[in-house]
Amino acid sequence: MRVLAVEDDPRIAADLSAALKKAGFLVETCGDGEEAWFRGDTEAYDLIVLDLGLPKLDGLTVLKRWRAGGCQVPVLILTARGAWTERVSGIDAGADDYLPKPFRMEELVARARALIRRSAGRGTPVEAHGRLTLEPAKMEVSVGGKPVAVSALEYRLLSYLMLHRDRVLPPVEILEHLYGDEDSREANALEALVARLRRKLGPGVIGTRRGFGYFLEGGAG
């Protein structure tokens, strides 16, 4: 999952980035409204965490521009303590959730996961499909009830496939959400990653549709 964290306070930005990375997200940060607007408009994120008080362009304006431009990404806004009017304007402008400062990073991460789930139309925290089960709060993976140890990158791939388990995912899309734009890899890096995961998970978990991409095999039905 790829997250953009927009925050001009370097200390909070560093904490945000560390907490989200620890939770298995690919995190990019930016510290001003203009750059945030541009990146949200041109890059594919699974979630954006947006501070409202930003230099160059305030967060509310950025959010309104994203929504006006058709950008549907879930947005969690960070508001000043006690500023209920900010929360109301934020939600009116298209925010999906908010957190007043100061907040606990644990709460931010929990809300981030819930927002991503909801944006994919799912409510339950434990994700299961076929023989594969993911427990996002612990970043644990099991196949047929047996735990499997995976790396952070492998987990990120599995959680992206899980979130979009109703379709076949093109490699280009997976690469973007796995590595971001700054560090985009070759398709064969993805092939190697999938091959490694298949050895760990066994057959019947990650499927390939030639010429289209990858998908999670074996639904309940």
Residues interacting with Ca ion, by CB under 5 A?
Answer: 8, 51, 53
Shortest distance, CB of residue 211 to Ca ion, whole angstroms?
46
**Residue number, 12 or 153, with CB nearest to Ca ion:** 12
**Residue number, 86 or 97, with CB nearest to Ca ion:** 86
User: Could you count the other beta carbons within 10 Å of the beta carbon of residue 1?
Assistant: 22
The candidate with the shortest Cα–Cα distance to 113, out of 38, 30, 23, is 23
Shortest distance, CB of residue 12 to Ca ion, whole angstroms?
8
Shortest distance, CB of residue 218 to Ca ion, whole angstroms?
46
Shortest distance, CB of residue 57 to Ca ion, whole angstroms?
12
Answer whether 218's CB lies under 8 Å from 143's CB.
no
**Residue number, 53 or 207, with CB nearest to Ca ion:** 53
**Residue number, 101 or 198, with CB nearest to Ca ion:** 101
51 backbone φψ class: left, alpha, beta (φ>0; ψ -120 to 50): beta
Pairwise CA distance, residues 83 & 66, whole Å: 23
For Ca ion, the nearest residue by Cβ is 53
Shortest distance, CB of residue 109 to Ca ion, whole angstroms?
20
**Residue number, 46 or 51, with CB nearest to Ca ion:** 51
**Residue number, 53 or 204, with CB nearest to Ca ion:** 53
Shortest distance, CB of residue 9 to Ca ion, whole angstroms?
5
